[in-house]
Structure formats: structure tokens, C-alpha cells
């Protein structure tokens, strides 16, 4: 039986000061999770000021929740849709020309259900160039989404994606190859 009374909060040993973490919490709720602030350029500047690495052509819609910007690396021409949740307790690296659609969730943390103390497990996520994460899809901790892969609407990805493949379902599986029209 799980005994949450023995759970030990992980020591993240953040390089960020507690003051900066609190400041991020306030800024993220005023600007990033708010529908009334749609300005991409200002959001990019704020994210980089908090330690995120972000390339050119970055588009971030309203109501995006990012846990720790200092654990986020984003390439060029990346689109992040409304209500995306990047729960990056661990590192999230997003390549170039990636689209993360509305309501998608990237999770770098999970709990060990076999452990009585329900220990937290943290693993990074890597999303390579040209990947499309569909609306309301979920990417689990430790996953690598390889070049030009697609995760379809509402799918749940628990393992790595092969390049140039379309994944669908829960758990997501290869549905077919991704082919581009010339």
C-alpha cells in the first residue's frame, strides 16, 4: 500500500534563487497563463530573462504554463498553442520547426507506483526538428520524439517516436509513415 506520509519532497537543487522562482511564479500567472496578454516578443524576452534558450520565429499563444523556464530550450520557428502545459521538472529540449498544439502536455515527472513512498521520477524530454505534437496529446517523461514524427490528437506517448512516423492512440503506436507532398 502507498504511504504518502513517508513521501520525501525531492531536492531539485535549483540554480535559481528562491526569490527568482517566486518572481517567475508571479510573472507566469500574470503574463503566460493569461488570455489577455498575447504578445509573443515580450513573452520570448521574459522567458530568456528567466534562463530559457529560445531561437528565432518563436510563437507562443495565451494560457501556456511553463514550470521552469531555466529548464527549457527551444529552437527556431517553434509554435506553442493555447493551454499547452510544459511541466518541466527536468530538461525539455524542442528542436526547430516544431508545433505543439492546443492543450498538449509535456511531462518530465512521474511517480514510482511500485514504491511505498511514491518516489518522484524525473526524466528529460527531447523533441527533434519538424515534430508535430497534436492537440490534447500527452508526452511522458524520458521520451524522444524523432525528426518529423507526428503525435495525433489526444494520443498519449509513453515511448520514443521513430522519425517520419505518425503515432496515434493510448498508448501511442505507429499508424503510418509521414510523407510530405512536394
Average pLDDT by stretches of 10, the chain with 182 residues: 87 73 94 88 95 97 96 98 96 98 97 92 97 98 98 98 98 95 82
DSSP type of residue 69? G
Residue 6: inside a domain: no
For position 131, which CATH number holds? 2.160.10.10
**147 lies in some domain:** yes
pLDDT computed for residue 16 by the predictor: 66
Q: Determine the pLDDT at residue 9.
A: 78
In a domain, 121, yes or no: yes
Count of domains observed in the chain: 1
Total-model pTM:
0.94
Q: What is the pLDDT of residue 17?
A: 80
Does residue 32 lie within any of the structural domains?
yes
The pLDDT assigned to 14 comes to 59
Residue 39 falls within a domain, yes or no? yes
Contact 86, 92 (CB under 8 A): yes
Residue 59's nearest CA partner among 80, 75, 43 is 80
Residues composing the chain: 182
Domain span at residue 159 reads: 18-175
| Number of helices followed by number of strands (H, E) in the chain | 2, 19
Instruction: Give residue 62's pLDDT.
Output: 95
In a domain, 75, yes or no: yes
Whether residue 4 is contained in a domain is answered as: no
Q: What is the pLDDT of residue 18?
A: 85
Please give the DSSP secondary-structure letter assigned to residue 161.
B
Which helix (H) or strand (E) element contains residue 139?
Answer: strand 138-139
Residue 7 belongs to some domain of the structure: no
Amino acid at each position: 500500500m502507498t504511504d504518502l506520509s513517508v513521501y520525501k519532497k525531492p531536492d531539485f537543487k535549483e540554480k535559481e534563487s528562491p526569490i527568482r522562482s517566486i518572481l517567475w511564479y508571479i510573472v507566469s500567472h500574470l503574463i503566460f497563463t493569461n488570455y489577455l496578454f498575447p504578445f509573443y516578443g515580450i513573452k520570448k524576452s521574459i522567458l530568456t530573462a528567466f534562463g530559457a534558450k529560445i531561437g528565432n520565429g518563436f510563437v507562443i499563444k495565451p494560457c501556456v504554463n511553463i514550470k521552469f523556464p531555466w529548464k527549457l530550450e527551444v529552437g527556431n520557428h517553434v509554435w506553442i498553442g493555447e493551454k499547452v502545459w510544459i511541466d518541466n521538472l527536468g530538461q525539455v529540449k524542442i528542436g526547430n520547426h516544431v508545433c505543439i498544439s492546443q492543450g498538449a502536455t509535456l511531462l518530465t515527472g512521474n511517480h514510482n507506483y511500485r514504491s511505498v513512498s511514491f518516489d518522484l521520477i524525473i526524466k528529460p524530454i527531447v523533441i527533434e526538428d519538424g515534430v508535430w505534437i497534436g492537440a490534447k496529446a500527452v508526452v511522458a517523461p524520458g521520451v524522444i520524439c524523432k525528426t518529423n514524427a507526428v503525435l495525433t490528437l489526444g494520443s498519449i506517448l509513453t515511448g520514443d517516436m521513430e522519425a517520419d512516423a505518425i503515432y496515434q492512440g493510448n498508448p501511442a503506436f505507429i499508424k503510418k509513415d509521414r510523407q510530405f507532398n512536394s
